[in-house]
Amino acid sequence: YVELWYFTPKGCEVAASHAVTLEADTFTITKADSNLTLLPSRTSAVPKGHIIQDQHLSFSDMSIAKNNLIPHMTKCHWPPQLVQKFMDFFINLETHPIRSQPQGEQALLIYQAEARRDWYRDFAASKDNKTFDIAGI
């Protein structure tokens, strides 16, 4: 799971300004939930205080970030059917009728954050790499 903030223009700018050239085999250990994960050291270069959680992004920032996220999923060799599900998910968010209601965009941002987190958690725990269809809202 990666916060969408990393794919916003500000996230890319901050990440680039904190990028450091390190050996490819240099790793750090990070804790996510109850799991320990090895990450290349260069991925931990962004100070934690700069990162904005998904539910606190503006709807516009979420839309821009997903436009940057989707091509990266393809570059990282995600199966095309999963990339399509995420594309459908974001289209469904942007066109959902609740968006035009008071605080509708905020509700959709919170839903998006929780749905993506749950999807990644389920996917990581799955033995057969299957999880719920994220496109359905």
d(CA 133, CA 86): 9
Higher pLDDT, 66 or 12: 66
β strands within the chain, DSSP E: 27-32, 35-40
Predicted confidence band of residue 50 (pLDDT cuts 50, 70, 90): confident
Could you read off the pLDDT of 84-121 as tens digits, one per residue?
Answer: 999 999 999 999 999 999 999 999 999 999 999 999 99
pLDDT at 28: 63
Question: How much is the pTM?
Answer: 0.76
d(CA 75, CA 95): 26
